Structure formats: C-alpha cells, structure tokens
Amino acid sequence: MNDTIVNITQNAITQASDFLTTDSIPVKDKLSFIISDFVPKFIEWGITAGLKLIAAIIIISVGFWITKKLTKLFVKALQHRNTDHLLCSFLRSMCNIILKIIVLIIAIQVLGIETMSFAAVLAAIGVGVGMALSGTLQNFAGGIVLLLFKPFKVGDFVECQSFSGTILQIRIFMTEIKTPDNKIVFVPNSTLISSPLINYTREDIRRIDIDFSVAYGTNLKQAKEIIENIAANEKGILQEPATTTFVSSLADSCVIITMRSWTKTNDYWTVKYNMNENIYNAFNEKGIDIPFPQITVHMQK
C-alpha cells in the first residue's frame, strides 16, 4: 500500500508539472485542475499517512505501558525466587530495553518504513562495537555468570591469582575487593570466572592444620599429649570433628608433628595464633626443644 501511495504521488506531481508549464492552457483551467485533481490526491495521501502516524503513536503508547506492566511482573517473579538484587536489577533493565525495542520496530513497520535495511545497519554497528569492546564484553559476560552462579557473595573472603580480600561489591564489569591491609582492588569479572578462585568463608567451619617442630630424641608421645591438651582447652576449637595429631615428616633437623582441628570460619586466625603461642610456651615449660636449621661441620686434620 505504501508503494501505491508513492506511485500516485509521483504520477500526480508529473502530471501537474506538465499541465502547469504549458502556456497554451488558461490560468483558470490550471487552477481548476489543481483544485479538482491534484489537491484530492494529496489529501488522500495526507489522510493515509496521518492514520499511519496515529496508529504508530497508539502502538508506542500502549506498547510502553504493557512493557512497564510486564517488567513489573518479571521482577516480582524474580523476587519470588529470591534472586540476587543485583541480578534482578540487571535483568529488569534488559527486559525493559528489549520489549521497548520490539514495540518501536512494530511502530516503524506500521509507518511503512522498511526495517530490513535498518536492522542491517544496526547489526553492522553492533559487530563494530563488539570488536572494539571485546574485553569489556567479556567482563560483562563474567558479571552475568557471577550473578547467576554466585561463587561468592558480598562479605566473603576470597583469593584469586595474586588478589585476596573481602568482597565489597559485585558490579557488571568488575568486582571490588578489600584487602586485609585496607586496599581496594578492582578485579575484572573475566579474571574471576576464568581463573581458579578460593572462597574461604563460604562454609561455616574450616579445618586448621598447624605444624610443630621438635628435636630428634624428643618424647613424641609427651609432645602429642601437650598439643592435644591445649587444643582441648582452646575455646575456638570444635569437639567434633575431633582433633588429631600425628608425625607428618622427619625433616633434616627436626621431627614435624601436625595438628588438625576444626573451628568456625570466623575464629580461624584467632585459634591459629593462640595455638602457636600456647604450644611454644608449653614446650619451653616441659623442656621440649624446638630446633632450628643447623649444619655440623667436621674439620679434617
């Protein structure tokens, strides 16, 4: 129908040009031609174009209203499934944008504008932008993966490559980490999903392994009893699973006794520091030597 209107308009303009430029035709006849033939065709075109414009405006108005309602329903469904608020906000924006684009495409088609060439231009622009922002898009995809699979949450202590610290905020392109010495590190999301990541605080309890060195000739039974007694009196160490002690290695200058205990994740470092100090003091009181690396040199005469 749009092609028909264009042809009618072009033919009308050609006929009018030929008729009006002819000197032999009286002015009165020219005016009569304009009023009786040329003007009605333009009025017909104007009415048709106006109806299409009104229809497009109605489609956009109603479509945006429906988009708003559908977006709200989508967000409620996500909240009902206890979706992370960051992911919920991101998906809400994406849903809103996609639905509005669909409404605009429908409105453009109603106006009679060809959308194939328009879509081709957008696709070409998208390819160019995608190539220019390949690294940023990887971080964007990484942010979506982190929000969907949740390998960590805000407040967790994690380690990835040479970075370790507490998660402050998970953004779409990067994640903020606060190191133990109060530095803020911005780690790209693509790094967090492509490298091995350790989450130290995901579980409620952790096993704590501590090695103690004693000199060769030490009564190992006595040393193990001292370690076990101190561990039993340490408030931060859990009774179940039970603490175990064993000789883990015979080193060059010492025997290594390993203690394995379980503690709450939040008490990990406190327990470790307390055990190191208490075992050191107990070994000194009982006369158990804690050796240090040494070399004996024999001089030959």
What confidence tens digit (pLDDT) does each residue in 38-63 have? 566 667 767 777 778 888 888 889 98
Please say whether the dihedral angle defined by the alpha carbons of residues 97, 103, 106 and 112, taken in this order, is positive or negative.
negative
Distance from C-alpha of 206 to C-alpha of 200, rounded to nearest angstrom: 8
178: confidence class by pLDDT, cuts 50, 70, 90: very high
52 assigned to some structural domain: yes
21 assigned to some structural domain: yes
174 and 220 belong to one structural domain: no
pLDDT for 98 equals 84
pLDDT for 143 equals 81
233 and 191 belong to one structural domain: no
151 and 234 belong to one structural domain: no
Residue 121 in tokens:
């231009």
- Measured between alpha carbons, how far is residue 225 from residues 112, 250, 253, 256, 286 in Å? 89, 19, 22, 15, 12
257 assigned to some structural domain: yes
Q: Which residues contact 32 (CB under 8 A, 6 or more apart)?
A: none
Q: Which residues contact 272 (CB under 8 A, 6 or more apart)?
A: 208, 210
1: confidence class by pLDDT, cuts 50, 70, 90: very low
68 and 166 belong to one structural domain: no
Residue 218 in tokens:
């030490």
Distance from C-alpha of 234 to C-alpha of 282, rounded to nearest angstrom: 14
- Measured between alpha carbons, how far is residue 133 from residues 127, 141, 156, 189, 237 in Å? 10, 12, 30, 15, 50
pLDDT greater than 80 at residue 193:
yes
Tell me how crowded residue 192 is: count the other CB atoms within 10 A of its CB.
25
24 assigned to some structural domain: yes
Which CATH number do you get for residue 30? 1.10.287
Tell me how crowded residue 136 is: count the other CB atoms within 10 A of its CB.
15
119 assigned to some structural domain: no
Render pLDDT for 225-266 as a digit per residue (tens, 0 to 9). Answer: 999 999 999 999 999 999 999 999 998 889 999 999 999 999
pLDDT greater than 70 at residue 22:
no
195 and 216 belong to one structural domain: no
185 and 209 belong to one structural domain: no
The overall pTM is greater than 0.75? no
Tell me how crowded residue 256 is: count the other CB atoms within 10 A of its CB.
14
Which CATH number do you get for residue 171? 2.30.30.60
Render pLDDT for 118-133 as a digit per residue (tens, 0 to 9). Answer: 666 666 666 665 555 4
211 and 176 belong to one structural domain: no
More reliable by pLDDT, 174 or 279:
279
Write out the residue range of the structural domain in which residue 281 sits.
Answer: 205-286
Which of 65, 86, 112 is the endpoint of a domain? 112
User: Which of 293, 266, 261 is closest to 276 using CA atoms?
Assistant: 261
121 assigned to some structural domain: no
Find out whether 289 and 218 touch, Cβ atoms under 8 Å: yes
Q: What is the largest CA-CA distance in the chain?
A: 141
264 and 222 belong to one structural domain: yes
Tally of structural domains, the chain = 3
Average pLDDT, the chain: 80
Which of 180, 199, 218 is the endpoint of a domain? 199
pLDDT for 169 equals 85
